[in-house]
Amino acid sequence: MERLVEVRERDEDFVDFPQESFGADIVESCTDLALDRFFEAKNAFMAPLLNAPGIVMLYSDDAEITLELPVEPGMERRKFVGSAEIQVLFEELAEIMISITAIEGARKVTGRKAFWSGIIRGVHRARREPVKLDALFRLEFDEHDLVIRQWSRLTPAAPDEAPEATEA
């Protein structure tokens, strides 16, 4: 059986859409989904159930991470390039923190680049006390939704407010 395919110069159904921005919207939508998957996977793979190779799979082989963690000696500002160094980074973070969870506050996606801000909560391994950090991430994804560049800054967050006492 022969299939007939109609070829048109222009798809009439999309005449009212600005053609150059339509593709950008699709890329941003994909980047938005990649950002969701990135933080879901990081939360699943980080301490206490560290799966460093699983985290590394979120990054391209030659990815670069710049991390600023001014509250932790030796982590004030460090750069990691490539899968092996990125795996070392997450192993070192697991030595510092017993548990780590990222909680989203806001995001902005433009093309394959994303800005994410939120809170990182965890428990410091040596001090055995809760940690709350304000987190800023700038991420750039490749066409396979792998991170090729990441810049992160983690700083102490304002303490949680104690719940108000209620009168009995």
Locate the domains of the chain by residue range.
22-156
Sign of CA dihedral 143, 144, 149, 151: positive
Architecture field, domain 22-156: Roll (3.10)
The owner of tokens 């433009």 is 110
Beta carbons within 8 Å of 97's beta carbon, 6+ residues apart: 46, 47, 122, 123, 124, 125, 131
* Tokens read off for 19: 């053609």
Can you tell me the distance from the alpha carbon of 9 to that of 1, in angstroms, rounded to the nearest whole number? Answer: 26
- Which of 86, 45, 41, 43 is closest to 63 using CA atoms? 86
45 near 57, Cβ under 8 Å? no
* Residue 3, pLDDT score: 43
Any residues with CB less than 8 A from the CB of 87 and at least 6 apart, and which?
52, 53, 55, 56
Query: Can you give the pLDDT of all 168 residues of the chain as single tens digits?
Result: 444 434 344 444 444 444 444 445 667 788 899 999 999 999 999 877 789 899 999 999 999 999 999 888 888 899 999 999 999 999 998 889 988 999 999 999 999 999 999 999 999 999 999 999 999 999 999 999 999 999 999 999 988 775 565 555
What predicted TM-score, i.e. pTM, was given to this entire model?
A: 0.78
Beta carbons of 30 and 68 less than 8 angstroms apart: no
